[in-house]
Amino acid sequence: MIEGRTGKWETVIGLEVHAQVISKAKLFSGAATGFGAKPNTQVSPVDAGFPGMLPVINRFCIEQAVKTGLGLAAEINLHSVFERKNYFYPDLPAGYQISQYLQPVVGHGRVSLDMPNGTVREIGITRLHLEQDAGKSLHDRHPSLTYVDLNRAGVALMEIVSEPDLRSGEEAGLYLRKLRSILRYLGTCDGNMEEGSLRCDANVSVRRPGAPLGTRCEIKNVNSIRYVMQAIEYEARRQIEVIEEGGTVEQQTRLFDAARGVTRPMRSKEEAHDYRYFPDPDLLPLVLDPDWVERIRADLPELPDARKARFMSEYGLSADDAGVLVAEKETALYFERVAQRRESKVAANWVMGDLFGALNRLGVGIHLSPVSAEQLGALIDLIADGTISGRLAKDVFAEMVASSADPAAIVEAKGLRQMTDSSAIEAAIDTVLASQAGRVAEYRAGRDKLYGFFVGQVMRATQGKANPALVNQLLKKKLAG
């Protein structure tokens, strides 16, 4: 809810996400899909719309779309149709995009969001359809020319359309994170927004609470979750201002200017779009074998919601901790490797505390962590078996982050092994007490608070290596005289 000058406003948001399908070859041609190749080196005559060249669909791309549909708890349409969406653009070689329109491969589904207040929100999925990506137009390489690279032309995209169920930029952010997490769990899209594997268009409108939907604006191609959130918040406030000033919101396509944090209408004249969709006569209806769909369903991996529930029941984690650990597939896998045969809460604390802190400082994801799950597990084991103290473990971890070395090797090399020899500790205590005869007398006279001072002195004398429990036990005995 946004408080305007004239009262409360509700923002209504629907998202259209274009997710690039993970596949070796393109949707309708045998050209490669890899990111970052030299211009026009991953282009077949089919992708370039050469005369007489015909599309033939990639079975794996369909499997990926079906898998994604199942992951979104959606209906799979056993009969779907590819249609042509006709428009002219230099990076659309055939003059039409092969897409799905009236009969998409995936129908209604849903995504559930864990809200910060602990509740769960269900966001409806309207549909998911398969379509071809366009090529790339580069407008800034030449003063009077646009350069066209068709490497991306024909790569398979899943367009995932949400219901207008989202109510704030923050919710939109949660939805995108959750959707990306599901796609990554499924292995159907890498979710990389910087490389354009995940792109988002946001339809935004505002209304008085309970009123019918207002006129919406579509914000095109925003390339980070943070920007999507910013763009929505800006756009909602802009629309409220327009209405409160007595104007009306014009339905239009807008772009987000990340540098200025504002949305602006697209400069190109928005001709009345008339895409003249019709079934692509080069392709026949896509008919799926229900057994095939069931086999895909049977092979689905555990998804974030299920994994979260399992982390809570199996590892006794709180909902918050489990939520954090399952958000990224790699984190969840990492955690489970660390928690293997170990105290799960200790494992969770190390992963979410020290490890996340270190990764944050380094600015890398967990897949690039300098400390492997096995190494972190070994560190926890060294604490558990008394080889090092919990305090020293922090230093060892810092060293692991710096050098990627095994904790045992660091402990050995730096001589950090915990002192558990009681005669050595006794000798250290004796030395400390002998040098602090006055304070010993005060303590024995009743100044209990000095106890901590003696512990500190003993630890200092042993460079922190003395086993704290032993120190306690022996010190108490000695002070008691």
Partner 1 sequence: MSDLALLALNLTEARDGLARKMFSARELAAAYNDAVSKAKPLNAYITPTPERALAMADAADERLARGEALPLDGIPIAVKDLFCTKDILTTAGSHVLDGFHPPYESTVSDKLWQAGGVMLGKTNLDEFAMGSSNTTSWYGPVENPWRRPGDNRPLVPGGSSGGSAAAVAAHAALAAIGTDTGGSIRQPASFCGIVGLKPTYGRCSRCGVVAFASSLDHPGPMARTVRDVAIMLSAMAGHDPRDSTSAPVPVADFEKALTGDIRGLRVGIPQEYRVDGMPRDIEALWQQGVEWLRTAGAEPVEISLSMTKYALPTYYIIALAEASSNLARYDGVRFGLRVEGDGLEEMYELTRAAGFGAEVRRRVLIGTYVLSAGYYDAYYLKAQRVRTLIARDFAAAFERVDCILTPTAPSTAFAIGEKSGDPIEMYLNDVFTVPANLAGVPAISVPAGLSGDGLPLGLQITGRAFDEETVLRVAQVLENAASFRHLPSFLAGAGR
Partner 2 sequence: MALDKETVAHIATLARIRVAEAELELLANELSHILSWVEQLNEVDTTGVAPMASAAAASLPMRDDAVNDGGCREAILGNAPRVARGFFTVPKVVE
Interface residues with partner 1 (CB under 8 A) are: 45, 48-57, 84, 86, 88, 90, 93-96, 146, 148, 274, 276-278, 281-284
Residue 54's binding partner out of partner 2, partner 1, Zn ion, none, with CB under 5 to 8 Å set by partner kind: partner 1
141: number of Cβ within 10 Å: 8
Pick the closer one to partner 1 by CB: 151 or 230.
Answer: 151
Angle 335-336-338 (CA atoms, 0-180°, nearest 5)? 65
Q: How far is the CB of 274 from Zn ion (least distance, A)?
A: 17
Q: How many residues form the binding site for partner 2 (CB under 8 A)?
A: 55
State how far the alpha carbon of 395 is from the alpha carbons of 348, 365, 382, 402, in Å: 19, 22, 13, 11
- Residue 83 sits in the site that holds Zn ion (CB under 5 A): no
Q: Give Cβ neighbours of residue 174 (< 8 Å, ≥ 6 apart).
A: 113, 114, 115
Name the one residue in this structure whose structure tokens are 């918050």: 320
Q: How far is the CB of 276 from partner 2 (least distance, A)?
A: 8
Q: How far is the CB of 272 from partner 1 (least distance, A)?
A: 8
Pick the closer one to Mg ion by CB: 106 or 383.
Answer: 106
For partner 2, the binding residues in 38-67 under the rule CB under 8 A are 38-48, 56-62
Q: Are 471 and 455 in contact (CB under 8 A)?
A: yes
- Residue 137 sits in the site that holds partner 2 (CB under 8 A): yes
Of residues 123, 124, 69, 70, the one with CA closest to residue 100 = 69
Q: How far is the CB of 159 from Zn ion (least distance, A)?
A: 4
Q: Are 379 and 363 in contact (CB under 8 A)?
A: no
Q: How far is CA 257 from the centre of its chain?
A: 23
For Zn ion, the binding residues in 119-178 under the rule CB under 5 A are 159
Site string for partner 2, 81-120 (x = CB under 8 A): -x-----x-x------------------------------
Q: How far is the CB of 245 from partner 1 (least distance, A)?
A: 33
Of residues 16, 17, 5, 13, the one with CA closest to residue 213 = 13
Name the one residue in this structure whose structure tokens are 């998409």: 104
Q: Three-class SS of residue 154?
A: coil
Give the separation between CA 362 and CA 346, rounded to whole angstroms.
23
- Residue 365 sits in the site that holds partner 2 (CB under 8 A): no
- Residue 418 sits in the site that holds partner 2 (CB under 8 A): no
Residue 401's binding partner out of Mg ion, partner 2, Zn ion, none, with CB under 5 to 8 Å set by partner kind: none
Pick the closer one to partner 2 by CB: 285 or 357.
Answer: 285
Q: Three-class SS of residue 261?
A: coil
Pick the closer one to partner 2 by CB: 43 or 70.
Answer: 43
- What is the per-residue DSSP string for 406-429? -HHHHHHHHT---B--HHHHHHHH
Pick the closer one to partner 1 by CB: 38 or 139.
Answer: 139
Q: Are 109 and 73 in contact (CB under 8 A)?
A: yes
Report, in angstroms and rounded to the nearest whole number, the Rg of the chain calculated over CA atoms: 30
Piece in contact with partner 2 (CB under 8 A), picked from 145-153, 312-320, 343-351, 406-414: 145-153
* Chain positions contacting Zn ion, by CB under 5 A: 159
* Chain positions contacting Mg ion, by CB under 5 A: 16
* Chain positions contacting partner 2, by CB under 8 A: 23-25, 29-32, 38-48, 56-62, 82, 88, 90, 137-139, 141-150, 255, 266-268, 271, 274, 276, 279, 281, 283-287
